[in-house]
Structure 1
Amino acid sequence: MADHNKKYSKIETEQLNIVDKNGKVKLSLFNEDNIPPAIMDGIDILPGHRQDQPISGLMFYNREGDECGGLIYGNEVDEEGNYNAFASLTFDQYKQDQVVQMRYEDDNGKRGYGFALFDRPSKNLRKMVKNTNQIKDSNLSSEEKDAAIKKELEGSVQRAYMGKTEQGDVSVQLMDSAGNQRIRMVVDENDVPKMEFLDEKGHVTYRLPPE
């Protein structure tokens, strides 16, 4: 009889998959040499995605085996000591892309980090990727391809962000359903606070304090 209660004080491995009783992966812990593919409906929907990136992390999967979020992190340093570091924690909409993200980026001391919310359409992401690739491979003109891809991705927009920019501003940004920034609250690098309301074209219609 197999011993299902073995205890280990230390395990060293390059990838660890947690599976259900049927062997379906529910969670994958991996190093940069074993980055999992982007799986949806049992298919790698983005072949080569992330495979050349210096990331390790933890990937989440739902009951159907679809990737549904994860934690990735990593960094690069060149021979001159220049570096880039990053981390991201995401949660995905069912059969879609991320709707919640917490991220950090640091490019040689230029740092930005924060929390973002997204809207996603009620369309299967695998089908959207397939349609987009077909458009790219079609005989349409560049302008027609751009328009068709924009229509295919319609409804996939960032709606909110709270964080700190590379310029040192701490801000809260709220976007409309088209992804246009409409409210912006900022405490800038000089500790000066301001609040702005914008129209759909990005023009400031009202601000506090008034100029």
Structure 2
Amino acid sequence: MSQLRTFLAGATTMAALLAAIAALSGAADPGRRASFDEITVGRINIVEPDGTKRIILSNKAQFPGDFMQGKEGARPDRRAFAGMLFINEEGTENGGLIQKGSVGADGKIDSGLSLTFDRFRQDQALQLMNNDSATYQMTGIKINDVPHFALTSMADIERFGEEAGKLPEAEQRAYRQKLAEAGRLSQNRIWLGNTGAKGSALQLKDARGRTRMMLLVTADGKAEIQMLDETGKVSKSITPGSKE
């Protein structure tokens, strides 16, 4: 009889354990639904039914690399951030939200947040950003002209950087200029944000990334519209006191 009681007690405990596991896993629900008031995890992968990752939310320690057509590439430079990656139907990175913020042993701030939207199989076309450090603070919106992936792939961008790194500094500038003239590089076309002198500015740029018009309000409230030539020199300036 004692053996029977022991068996029944063990069976009851096992049944309760299996029921708890089933509830947590959603197995008790045909729709595999579960409800939580709070969940604590290091990383969450949101996937399609076929397993394709679509959104990854992660802490710093487990932050993923980059994704191109279903393959993940190593990105050790991202291990300073926590955040979220967006991935499209083919398994290619589509943008993301990353953030960090700390004060080092030297007392210096190292903080930043960036929300980006990528062109298809390419790099950032739109970025909302905020950076804060011991020497500067910058908040802005960047709109970039990004080449089609068939003209310049992400692998090409990596190769351009490697080839430029083998050249003397003066030749690096010429090398990048040649690529820019051929439309092979991304160029910032619009910048809206603060300036190093605590002003606010809207910069409109040409296809080479050169600022050609700037709307500026200085920290002390002076407003100005500047038109610049291809060398960056102000060719015309309009202020409230300007006379045509």
Given the alignment of the two structures, is residue 115 of structure 1 paired with residue 137 of structure 2, yes or no? no
Bigger strand share: 1
Shift, 1:48, TM fit:
2.5
Asked whether the 8 Å contact 2:117–2:126 carries over to 1, the reply is yes
Q: TM-score, normalised by structure 1?
A: 0.87
Match status 1:129 vs 2:157: yes
Distance 1:105 1:47, change over 3 A: closer
Larger C-alpha radius of gyration, 1 or 2? 2
Maintained 8 Å contact 2:71/2:91: no
Determine whether 1:81 maps to 2:111: no
2:232 equivalent to 1:195: no
Distance 1:94 1:37 in 2: 17
Is contact 2:64-2:75 (8 Å) kept? no
Q: Compute the TM-score of the two structures, normalised by the length of structure 2.
A: 0.76
Is 1:26 aligned to residue 64 of structure 2? no
C-alpha change, 1:137 and 1:193, in structure 2 (3 Å) is closer
Q: Note if 1:206 corresponds to 2:236.
A: yes
Does structure 1 retain, via aligned residues, the 8 Å contact 2:114–2:128? yes
Paired with 2:225 and 2:164, the residues of 1 have a C-alpha distance of 41
Counterpart among 80, 97, 121 of residue 95 in structure 1: 121
- Seen in structure 2, the aligned counterparts of structure 1 residues 130 and 172 have a Cα distance that, compared at 3 Å, is closer
**In the TM superposition, what is the alpha-carbon distance from 1:64 to its structure 2 partner?**
0.8
The count of aligned residue pairs is 208
* Cα displacement (A) at 1:76: 2.5
Name the structure with the higher helix share.
2
2:93 to 50, 56, 67: 67
Aligned partners of 1:90 and 1:99 also within 8 Å: yes
Q: Does 1:15 align with 2:28?
A: no
Structure 2: runs of 5 or more not aligned: 1-25
Gaps (5+ residues) in structure 1? Answer: none
Instruction: Give 3-state SS (helix, strand or coil) of 1:189's partner.
Output: coil
SS of equivalent to 2:209:
coil
Which of 78, 81, 84 pairs up with 1:58? 84
Preserved CA contact (<8 Å) 2:110 2:134: yes
What amino acid maps onto 1:177 in structure 2? Answer: A
Q: Which amino acid aligns with 2:84?
A: L
Q: CA RMSD in A?
A: 2.5
Equivalent position SS for 2:140: strand
Query: 1:46–1:158: structure 2 CA closer, same or farther, 3 Å change rule?
Result: farther
2:100·2:111 contact (CA, 8 Å) conserved in 1?
Answer: yes
